Chains A and B, each alone.
Chain A
């Protein structure tokens, strides 16, 4: 029995010309796990928000067609009524907290209070859901003081407690570290088994392929196809519409390993089974990490570094590290000390003891402004820096600050914008851009400063496949120009693909420091740092 029926849905946001949803028709059965994939701007979030009635009730705009959810028309049923049928969880866990309660327990009960549920029933439901999501132990904590993964679980609990039959998750793991991502997927797995209808938008396609019954593939507001993961990811030229198939599918396509129905497998188990059945001995070649001849002098030399935010908790004790010209990824869980380390390199923090050498200079006593033309730093959230009303002005702000002439600043800014795929958007207001494009603007604004070192904090957040490829290309180009690129990352496949050197951190210590190949071969290190291997590495190791 269909729980969601969509007929010829068309939708256009106010003050836009393009249809965000263009003639979508589909039905979703009760208990199905549906994935929605596509490049940024394809209409995935808009479609999911139409299922709860936020489109058009909250966003307004031009709307046509029908969305029937559990027998109710979504465009006319008030969202505050619809929330009993459909729950929505989105990317940023912080913004999903109501801000009206001081404990996790109260936060989860917030929706029930609004529904007018009696107190006894509320206590029963809240206790059940907190235990179900394994966050009972945080019930008296302030939700704002939890980690991203814990906060996202509180958000899921807050929706689940209202007992909707359908749960929509809009990229719920995009801002989480690997452990937080696992926490969320574990919960979603439980919900599927409990019979909820799940609709999930996700860029981590290996994950979504593993869990989904069917996938909606979208491009430019249109539904390209709606089928099983195997059929969707076996389609030709997916990369042309901004979707990179799971590594297993790509591998099997390259070796012409098909399932009986003619599709390619989408998960590890299927892939290994087909390889075994084929009787062929197939090995996945190791990616050759290009070891470039680096300058004899280290770019950064950290000697006996000690740092703590307060006297009780030491972040670093006698940390020693050399950074040469190789592009370097720093990986580890939240709280490992990654961001603190790069902030020290940038001069935003000062060591309590020890020294940091940048070439021949001891930068321990230098100000951020003194290092601005040498070390560039792109913050995680682009909204922390954007303040100009034109993209070009925003990108030129840094170069002009460090003393470049107007002409040089403009030339470098145009080049940086082209590198980040923003050519043609120079005159746009950055706030009119999507989050992924604002992130590119922020990167371009630092790249344009032409610094010797570029530090990136989580550059791939909110990026789709084309976006990740652009960032990868930028890293390669800057490295080839002799610049040092350092990035903090949670996307292990991106690390494996684009970096020459990988540093694994945990508890303020460096656990491993080598090429991606060697680092990801150290199971004990990954376990201690609570990290997962890239999918491609896992496949390679399973193939022997």
Chain B
């Protein structure tokens, strides 16, 4: 797969699961704690996602995503802990900064929610081939043109990005300054952008011809190279996830009555 995709095929059972089952997991992971309304449900789902990532042997690849989310979570804790409009109960102080219980609880809920969403998406993104997802979407009736756009993002854009370095070298060779003051850098942008755009357009025209002569515009029903083997866990896991969502919903309604 190209550098643009985070997916790596580790040959685990998670890789073999149907993309729709994994999409259903995202839905369940987000809905269960939100509908359930209990804070402890977030760590449960986060733990589930961590276990799945470990099973998929992709836990290490998920760490940069988690690290990135922590920056955001820390900012939320600072703002809510210090300035939430409901802040009343002082929890602790660091120098002149006073943190309140209400704000920190609110921040905990948001932070856990972010982490939960991120990890459940990580389960999907890190274990699902974009090509496979597109194939399954097309089998379900999505337009092949829509599928092509998604696939080409993962294949063609990285190639375009590679050409950017060559273009920069070509312009520097003709004396273009790329270092120095802001104005010098801004001036260097145009000789960079124009060839990137124009060569992309030229390439696009040729690629359009290449697609035409390979029957891309045909109206008949497209066939697929691979029939995805049915994974025996897909159905069971799908049913289990739906039942969990229903159970949490019922539990919440009952507890509200």
Q: For B131, what are the chain A residues with a Cβ–Cβ distance below 8 Å?
A: 100-102, 106
Residues 167-203 (chain B) with a chain A CB within 8 angstroms: 167, 169-177, 190-191, 194-195, 198-199, 202-203
Query: Within the assembled complex, what's the spacing in Å between the Cα atoms of A111 and B214?
Result: 5
Residues 7-64 (chain A) with a chain B CB within 8 angstroms: 52, 54, 58
Bits for A110-128, please: 1 = Cβ < 8 Å to B, else 0: 1111111111001100000
Whether B207 sits at the interface, judged by CB under 8 Å, is yes
- In the complex, the answer to whether B207 meets A123 with C-beta atoms within 8 Å is no
Partner of B220, one of A116, A144, A343: A116
- In the complex, the answer to whether A99 meets B156 with C-beta atoms within 8 Å is yes
Query: Within the assembled complex, what's the spacing in Å between the Cα atoms of A4 and B190?
Result: 48
Q: For B70, what are the chain A residues with a Cβ–Cβ distance below 8 Å?
A: none
Whether B223 sits at the interface, judged by CB under 8 Å, is yes
Chain B residue total in the interface (Cβ 8 A): 54
- In the complex, the answer to whether A384 meets B166 with C-beta atoms within 8 Å is yes
Q: With contacts defined as CB atoms under 8 Å apart, how many contacts are there between chain A and chain B in the complex?
A: 181
When A100-B151, A401-B175 are in contact, do A113 and B225 touch as well, CB less than 8 Å?
yes
Expressed in whole angstroms, the minimum distance between the Cβ of A349 and any Cβ of chain B is 9
Q: For B167, what are the chain A residues with a Cβ–Cβ distance below 8 Å?
A: 384-385
Whether B143 sits at the interface, judged by CB under 8 Å, is no
Query: Within the assembled complex, what's the spacing in Å between the Cα atoms of A372 and B220?
Result: 56
Q: Which of A78, A96, A98, A101 gathers the greatest number of chain B CB atoms within 10 Å? A: A98
- In the complex, the answer to whether A90 meets B206 with C-beta atoms within 8 Å is yes
- In the complex, the answer to whether A446 meets B224 with C-beta atoms within 8 Å is no
- In the complex, the answer to whether B215 meets A80 with C-beta atoms within 8 Å is yes
Whether A92 sits at the interface, judged by CB under 8 Å, is yes
Minimum CB distance partner of A117 in chain B:
B223
Minimum CB distance partner of B152 in chain A:
A99
- In the complex, the answer to whether A119 meets B169 with C-beta atoms within 8 Å is no
- In the complex, the answer to whether B174 meets A99 with C-beta atoms within 8 Å is no
Q: For B211, what are the chain A residues with a Cβ–Cβ distance below 8 Å?
A: 98
Residues 366-417 (chain A) with a chain B CB within 8 angstroms: 368-369, 372-373, 376-377, 379, 381, 383-387, 397-398, 401-402
Bits for A141-155, please: 1 = Cβ < 8 Å to B, else 0: 010100000000000
Query: Within the assembled complex, what's the spacing in Å between the Cα atoms of A5 and B163?
Result: 42
- In the complex, the answer to whether B169 meets A397 with C-beta atoms within 8 Å is no
- In the complex, the answer to whether A99 meets B207 with C-beta atoms within 8 Å is yes
When A122-B223, A387-B194 are in contact, do A98 and B218 touch as well, CB less than 8 Å?
no
Whether B2 sits at the interface, judged by CB under 8 Å, is yes
Query: Within the assembled complex, what's the spacing in Å between the Cα atoms of A397 and B224?
Result: 51
- In the complex, the answer to whether B198 meets A372 with C-beta atoms within 8 Å is no
Expressed in whole angstroms, the minimum distance between the Cβ of A100 and any Cβ of chain B is 4
Minimum CB distance partner of A348 in chain B:
B169
When A98-B214, A116-B223 are in contact, do A373 and B175 touch as well, CB less than 8 Å?
yes
Residues 56-110 (chain B) with a chain A CB within 8 angstroms: none
Expressed in whole angstroms, the minimum distance between the Cβ of B7 and any Cβ of chain A is 10
Expressed in whole angstroms, the minimum distance between the Cβ of B142 and any Cβ of chain A is 14
Whether B159 sits at the interface, judged by CB under 8 Å, is yes
Whether B217 sits at the interface, judged by CB under 8 Å, is yes
- In the complex, the answer to whether A372 meets B225 with C-beta atoms within 8 Å is no
When A87-B213, A102-B1 are in contact, do A381 and B173 touch as well, CB less than 8 Å?
no
- In the complex, the answer to whether B173 meets A80 with C-beta atoms within 8 Å is no
Whether A449 sits at the interface, judged by CB under 8 Å, is yes
Expressed in whole angstroms, the minimum distance between the Cβ of A83 and any Cβ of chain B is 5
Partner of B173, one of A52, A114, A116, A346: A346
Query: Within the assembled complex, what's the spacing in Å between the Cα atoms of A213 and B172?
Result: 49
Query: Within the assembled complex, what's the spacing in Å between the Cα atoms of A449 and B173?
Result: 11
Q: For B222, what are the chain A residues with a Cβ–Cβ distance below 8 Å?
A: 113-114, 116
Expressed in whole angstroms, the minimum distance between the Cβ of A344 and any Cβ of chain B is 12
Expressed in whole angstroms, the minimum distance between the Cβ of A89 and any Cβ of chain B is 9
- In the complex, the answer to whether B226 meets A119 with C-beta atoms within 8 Å is yes
A-B contact pairs, 30 of them (CB 8 A): A52-B213, A58-B212, A79-B212, A80-B212, A80-B215, A81-B218, A86-B213, A97-B155, A97-B207, A98-B214, A100-B131, A100-B147, A101-B151, A105-B225, A106-B131, A111-B214, A115-B220, A119-B224, A119-B225, A119-B226, A162-B214, A343-B169, A368-B173, A372-B174, A377-B170, A377-B173, A385-B174, A401-B176, A402-B175, A446-B174
A95-B210, A117-B223, A398-B174 known; 10 new pairs, CB 8 Å cut-off, are A90-B209, A95-B206, A100-B148, A114-B216, A114-B222, A119-B226, A162-B215, A346-B173, A372-B175, A379-B170
Q: A interface vs B, CB < 8 Å?
A: 52, 54, 58, 78-81, 83-84, 86-88, 90, 92, 94-102, 105-106, 109-119, 122-123, 142, 144, 158-159, 162, 343, 346, 348, 368-369, 372-373, 376-377, 379, 381, 383-387, 397-398, 401-402, 431, 445-446, 449
